[in-house]
């Protein structure tokens, strides 16, 4: 395979999380909750939170450098940087800041927003850029600092989210394609189930000309509806991606889901008839890190030796939009 029609290999991964964290016990001093209440409903034990001095782009750059080092790709060789995030440092985007920080001077860089599905959508986007022969070395990053957008008085949401970043390096492979199949979906009619909406006050500029001035309100979520949505759609989208890959669930070595809620992950694995030992979970340590959760979980599994070269991984992201998707890939070059 050469030029147009090149295959794709994921050759490196990396992650970064803030040092400071908030345990369930500590959170119970802020809002009416308890360690037992949080763990029994979510599986979360603590969440890492970015200090005011830590930017989204800094976390993303740290994860990116680690991924490039594993892939043995220099920043100068990167053609494209895709940053999946809903919480950029700058509303115009943060990918270019990451490009500057890691000194990937040749790369075009832009943000991509699909909430908790963002990393998966960015991975598919990178795949298509490589398959068409446009780029050969693509850095895909998922990063979020949702701690800055939750209502810390709302126990339904503040217990869930942590901050972090994860990255992978996708490279053109002229002999094989390790992205085996994928499926993506959106349903904007369910946007109210999970959103971080803009709100503002009317500003009259002149008679008949009004604009709105404001900011984004804290994240809101209908937990019951999101659970129903995820448990119904995630197994379905993974099965569709498997069909495109000409594989079955018996071929899956590891299931790496968006780390939203342990109950969701357990229900999805049950419906796919996958044993718990095939499910990668670090939810207890980090909570829901949105677009960062899949690459963060993958990176820890690779570096611990759990995921090995040639393993077949099924992954799914799901979240606000609503958006969801599934992808099947073989780890390594």
Identical fold for domains 7-176 and 180-188+220-330, yes or no, is yes
| Tens of each residue's pLDDT in the chain, 333 residues | 444 678 999 999 999 999 999 999 999 999 999 999 999 999 999 999 999 999 999 999 999 999 999 999 999 999 999 999 999 999 999 999 999 999 999 999 999 999 999 999 999 999 999 999 999 999 999 999 999 999 999 988 999 999 999 999 999 999 999 999 999 999 999 888 888 888 889 998 999 999 999 888 888 888 889 999 999 999 999 999 999 999 999 999 999 999 999 999 999 999 999 999 999 999 999 999 999 999 999 999 999 999 999 999 999 999 998 999 999 999 998
Burial of 201 (0-12, 13-18, 19+ CB in 10 A): exposed
Q: Are 298 and 256 in contact (CB under 8 A)?
A: yes
48 a catalytic residue: no
116 a catalytic residue: yes
Which of the following is catalytic: 13, 178, 258, 261?
258
Q: Give the Cα separation of 136 and 73 in Å (integer).
A: 11
Tens digits of per-residue pLDDT, 109-144? 999 999 999 999 999 999 999 999 999 999 999 999
Options 3.40.50.300, 3.40.47.10, 3.65.10.10, 3.40.50.1780; CATH for 7-176 is 3.40.47.10
**Nearest Cα to Cα of residue 286 among 152, 178, 159:** 159
Which of the following is catalytic: 24, 173, 261, 288?
288
The domain locations on the chain are 7-176, 180-188+220-330
Options 3.40.47.10, 3.40.50.280, 1.10.287.610, 3.40.50.300; CATH for 180-188+220-330 is 3.40.47.10
Find the distance separating the first CA and the last CA of the chain, reported in whole Å: 14
Residue 134 phi, psi dihedral angles, 5° rounding = -70, -45
Q: Give the Cα separation of 119 and 291 in Å (integer).
A: 5
Which of the following is catalytic: 13, 24, 116, 195?
116
Tens digits of per-residue pLDDT, 149-200? 999 999 889 999 999 999 999 999 999 999 999 999 999 998 888 888 888 8
Q: How many CA atoms lie within 13 A of 154 on its CB side?
A: 16
158 a catalytic residue: no
Q: Are 84 and 119 in contact (CB under 8 A)?
A: yes
């Amino acid at each position: 395979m050469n030029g147009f029609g090149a295959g794709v290999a994921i050759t490196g991964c990396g992650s970064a999380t803030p040092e400071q964290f908030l345990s369930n016990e500590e959170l119970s001093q802020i809002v009416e909750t308890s360690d037992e209440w949080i763990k029994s409903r979510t599986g979360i034990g603590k969440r890492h939170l970015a200090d005011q001095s830590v930017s989204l782009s800094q976390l993303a750059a740290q994860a990116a450098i680690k991924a490039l080092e594993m892939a043995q790709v220099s920043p100068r060789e990167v053609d494209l940087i895709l940053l999946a995030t809903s919480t950029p440092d700058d509303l115009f985007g943060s990918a270019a800041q990451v490009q500057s920080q890691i000194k990937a001077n040749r790369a075009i860089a832009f943000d991509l927003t699909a909430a908790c599905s963002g990393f998966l959508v960015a991975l598919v986007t990178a795949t298509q850029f490589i398959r068409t022969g446009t780029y050969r070395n693509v850095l895909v990053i998922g990063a979020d600092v949702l701690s800055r957008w939750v209502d810390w008085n709302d126990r339904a949401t503040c217990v869930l989210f942590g901050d972090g970043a994860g990255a992978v390096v996708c490279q053109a492979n002229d002999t094989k394609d390790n992205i085996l199949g994928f499926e993506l979906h959106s349903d904007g009619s369910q946007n109210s189930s999970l959103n971080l909406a803009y709100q503002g006050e009317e500003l009259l500029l002149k008679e008949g000309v009004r604009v709105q001035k404001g900011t984004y309100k804290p994240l809101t979520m209908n937990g019951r509806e999101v659970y129903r949505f995820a448990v119904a759609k995630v197994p379905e989208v993974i099965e569709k991606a498997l069909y495109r890959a000409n594989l079955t669930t018996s071929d899956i070595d590891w299931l790496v889901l968006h780390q939203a809620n342990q109950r969701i992950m357990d229900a999805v694995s049950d419906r796919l008839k996958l044993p718990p030992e095939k499910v990668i979970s670090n939810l207890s340590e980090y909570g829901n890190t949105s677009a960062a959760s899949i690459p963060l979980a993958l990176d820890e599994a690779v570096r611990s030796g759990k995921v090995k070269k040639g393993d077949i991984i099924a992954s799914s992201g799901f979240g606000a939009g609503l958006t969801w998707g599934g992808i099947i890939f073989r780890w390594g070059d």
